[in-house]
Amino acid sequence: MRYVLVYWSRYGNGKKIVENLAERLERKGGQTQVFRTDEVDPSALPEADRYVFSAPTEAFNIQRDMRKFMKNLQGMEGKKYGIINTHAMKRNWLPKMEKLLSKKNMVKVAGVDFQMGKEAQSGNGLMEGWENRLEEFADKL
């Protein structure tokens, strides 16, 4: 399986998740390409069997670069995706990501969110059990 992973991350927590996910998928025999939102053109993403998008909640919304990226996606009809959201408050913003991608007629296969602990701003916000949650997500992709 070929995977394209696109992320935006301010403090590095989301980046750590996506890099760890890529390693897991490779171990399962997959081929992965990882991009930050500013490293790839949303209107010309490489071909893949699964797309993964990862972004934090900021200001009660999905962080704006990722929002813009999703709005600018082209030619993604029927393509399958997984979504990852990191957030500090209780509520997760996966539904907003899903809404943006449904406008592109993409098909959701999995979603996972991670509530950050106190150390989020130093990039150490991931809480116990995150790797198990990520493994379950990887299995669904």
Under the criterion CB under 6 A, does residue 14 sit at the interface with ligand FMN? yes
Closer residue to ligand FMN (CB): 80 or 117: 117
Under the criterion CB under 6 A, does residue 88 sit at the interface with ligand FMN? yes
Under the criterion CB under 6 A, does residue 30 sit at the interface with ligand FMN? no
- Asked if residues 65 and 35 have their Cβ atoms less than 8 Å apart, the reply is no
Rounded Cα distance, 95 and 102, in Å: 10
Closer residue to ligand FMN (CB): 14 or 42: 14
Q: Contacts with ligand FMN: how many residues (CB under 6 A)?
A: 19
Under the criterion CB under 6 A, does residue 11 sit at the interface with ligand FMN? yes
Rounded Cα distance, 86 and 58, in Å: 9
- Rounded to 5, what percent of the chain is helix, strand, coil? 35, 25, 35
Strands ordered across the beta sheet of 2-7: 31-36, 2-7, 50-56, 80-87, 107-115
Residues in a beta bridge with 62: 57
Under the criterion CB under 6 A, does residue 40 sit at the interface with ligand FMN? no
Member of 3, 4, 50, 57 binding ligand FMN (CB under 6 A): 57
Under the criterion CB under 6 A, does residue 56 sit at the interface with ligand FMN? yes
Member of 22, 120, 134, 138 binding ligand FMN (CB under 6 A): 120
The token duo for 67 is 């929002």
